[in-house]
Chain A
Amino acid sequence: MTILTKPEAEPVPQGSEHFLSVRDLYVQFATEDGTVKAVDGLSFDLDRGKTLGIVGESGSGKSVTNMAILGLHNPRNTTIAGEIVLDGQELTGASPKTLEKLRGKKMSMVFQDSLTALSPYYTVGRQIAEPYMKHMGASKKEARDRAVEMLRRVGIPQPQTRVDDYPHQFSGGMRQRAMIAMALVCDPDLVIADEPTTALDVTVQAQILDLLKDLQQESGTSIILITHDLGVIAHTADDVVVMYAGRAVERGTVRDILKTPEHPYAWGLLGSIPRLSSSVDVPLAPIPGSPPSLLNPPPGCPFHTRCAFVDQVEGDRCRTERPVLPEGRGSACHLTADQKRDIFIEQIQPRLR
């Protein structure tokens, strides 16, 4: 991900623009208890052929953001503000019909739990063929051939016969492959993978991630990979956005985030990963507390209620002033750059070994 210095820049259809650019995105849900600010001023960019990892706990707004890109929120109770520009086309104000035509064709999504995310009533082949018929105007026969081809591409054995199977006749890993085949059937430019490996066991996880990578190299697709698992990010992403309470709290390249993380929340995420090499006597260091309510988020830095370093910031700013995420590599935290570096080297890094 490169740095965007002009947030208000007009979309230019030339290659100078980012392929996907999200600017000051707000997504709010009206509920009986009040307005939930699920995404609260989020910006990021993604270039062609690159993979962006979005990391965060449950409820941090990862999935909501991506549902907003696809326009899948119910307009009756959802307010979306800000800018989503995909390949020069503005999406937040686009009509439902326009979005419908883009979904599945230009942008598509791989969902988490493939057993519930595929319809039990139709064959896998039909579910793969449907968008191909709709978007490409293909005949039934052509779409079926395409479905077989896609199943072969994602590594399903005997695709000619498996194409007529129902999802419940597939194993979990095969279903996820079929799901990827479905997302890629129209050669989309953007694939959003929402925790694509969460429901799978570890060996299958690696296969699925490799598959996504291979397919990306073949077709030059851009991928947004949503996950709570930094291991998955390490394996696949180029750039990373760390989300907390609907905001980006840190961003950088995958190397930045894994080797020199700056935000206390990112430190917490790294510290809570079990490592085979670590001593069994050293307990995992989970982040204390739970994510804040998005109905009335705490003032100041939303992470201050769980942050161990609040006292090191002068003047109680963590509780009163919302830290700003700088453009490009950086983190939304009041600690000074020196403090971040020193704390990470002295207190965090030793625990990660």
Chain B
Amino acid sequence: MLRFLTRRVLGAIVILLAITAVTYFLFFVLPSDPARLACGKNCSNPDVVKAIHHRMGLDLPVYQQYWDYIRGIFVGRHMPDGQNCPAPCFGFSFVNDQPIWPTLTDRYPTTLSLAVGGSAAFLVIGVGLGMLSAWQQGKTFDRVASSISLVGNSVQIYFIGPLAIALFADNLGWLDHGHDPTWGSDPTGSFSGLVLPCLVMSVIFWSNYSRQTRSLMVEQLAEDHIRTARAKGMSSRYVFFRYALRGAAASIITIFGIDLGSVFGGAIITEATFGLHGLGTLAVNAVLGLDLPMEMAVMIFSASAIVIFNILVDTAYAIIDPRIRLS
């Protein structure tokens, strides 16, 4: 187990380095120049542009810049303009010259909470519906659920989001409008502010997970070892939950691992829909403003999150299926 984790963590670091390198070098392939953008519309003085280049550190060779950036994350650095940037240093924004790290720590709880909360919601609801369908296989509930999941498959967050706000928050008043969580100071408020966004985000995943779960359960229930368990006199419910679900869970977790990217994508669309301040708007603004340090920071954060979740998923998979060796 320890060996497996060590290997996976080392592998993850390599992947992250590769991602950061590609992102960094791609930026310089683009023909646009952040210094010109910072200099303003009528900026024609090459000396001013050169000065800005120097302040941003863009006059150094690209590999040197990349090295300084990565080193700064671990040990901190002095910026070319003399500002001190303690570790973990992600640099200063090209746009407003603010340090990146505090902005990031300010924004990531929203996105992470949405990703985790949304996943929990669609796993509980989607897998739950799928299990009910499998239990009621061929009966009315199963048919109704499969028709509804077709509808669920065709909705979008930015479409149902405003509808849900109008219905559940404005008209019925059952749920909060949705606001950014501040976990430390106000846990309950943070939670209630996330319920509606998480539910809305989960809707687009329901149909997929309920259909997959249903077919996995039906498949599992037809396995020989299910018949053996019934031949031992185990009850239908026991067989369903202990034997069939165990087998289906392994596959559901695999599907979830593949979906992690979409989960973060969904979280970013959701925060835009609900006007929350997460990494999504930050990323969009960074790209539009040619704000390389911010782009890098958001990229490193989301890539790390996905890599870490993937390791967790693989570990869970190995715990569920003893035939998988962790090595």
Chain B residues within an 8 Å CB radius of A76: 138
In terms of DSSP, what is the predominant structure of the interface of chain B? Answer: helix
Once A104-B231, A130-B234, A134-B234 are accepted as A-B contacts, the answer to whether A166 and B224 lie under 8 Å apart by CB is no
**A75-117 vs B: 1/0 string, CB under 8 Å?**
0100000000000000000000000111111001101010011
**Given A100-B235, A130-B234, A134-B233, A117 and B228 touching (CB < 8 A)?**
yes
Contact yes or no, A121 B247, CB < 8 A: yes
Which single residue of chain A is at the shortest CB-CB distance from B138? A76
Given contact pairs A111-B227, A121-B243, A103 touches B322 in the complex (Cβ within 8 A): no
Q: Are B321 and A108 in contact (CB under 8 A)?
A: no
* Interface contact A72-B224, CB-CB below 8 Å: no
Question: In the complex, which of the residues A102, A103, A117 contacts B224, with contact meaning CB atoms closer than 8 Å?
Answer: A117
Chain A residues within CB distance 8 Å of chain B: 70, 72, 76, 100-105, 108-109, 111, 113, 116-122, 130-131, 134-135, 166, 168, 179, 182
The reply on B41 being an interface residue by CB < 8 A is no
Chain A minimum-CB-distance residue to B226: A119
Q: Are B246 and A131 in contact (CB under 8 A)?
A: no
Taken residue by residue from 283 to 327, chain B's Cβ proximity to chain A (1 for < 8 Å, 0 otherwise) reads as: 000000000000000000000000000000000000011110000
B234 near A117: Cβ-Cβ < 8 Å: no
Residues of B within 8 A of A182 (CB): 228, 232
Question: What 16 additional pairs, Cβ within 8 angstroms, besides A100-B235, A111-B228, A119-B225?
Answer: A72-B231, A76-B138, A100-B233, A102-B233, A104-B233, A104-B234, A111-B231, A116-B224, A117-B227, A118-B225, A119-B228, A121-B322, A131-B233, A134-B234, A168-B323, A182-B228
Determine whether B33 belongs to the interface, using a CB cutoff of 8 Å to chain A.
Answer: no
CA distance A240 to B243 in the complex (A): 36
Query: Within 8 Å of chain A (Cβ to Cβ): is B229?
Result: yes
Query: By the criterion CB–CB under 8 Å, are A105 and B323 in contact?
Result: no
The residues of A that contact B247 with a CB separation of less than 8 Å are 119-121
Within 8 A of A (CB), among B183-230: 223-225, 227-230
Q: Is the CB of A130 within 8 A of B323?
A: no
Q: Provide the residues of chain B in CB contact with A101, threshold 8 Å.
A: 233
Residues in chain A near residue B232, CB distance under 8 A: 103-104, 108, 130-131, 134, 182
**Given contacts A113-B224, A118-B228, A121-B243, are A135 and B233 in contact (CB under 8 A)?**
yes
Task: Give chain B residues whose Cβ lies under 8 Å from the Cβ of A134.
Answer: 232-234
Chain B residues with Cβ under 8 A from A105's Cβ?
Answer: 233
A109 neighbours in B (Cβ, 8 Å): 228, 231
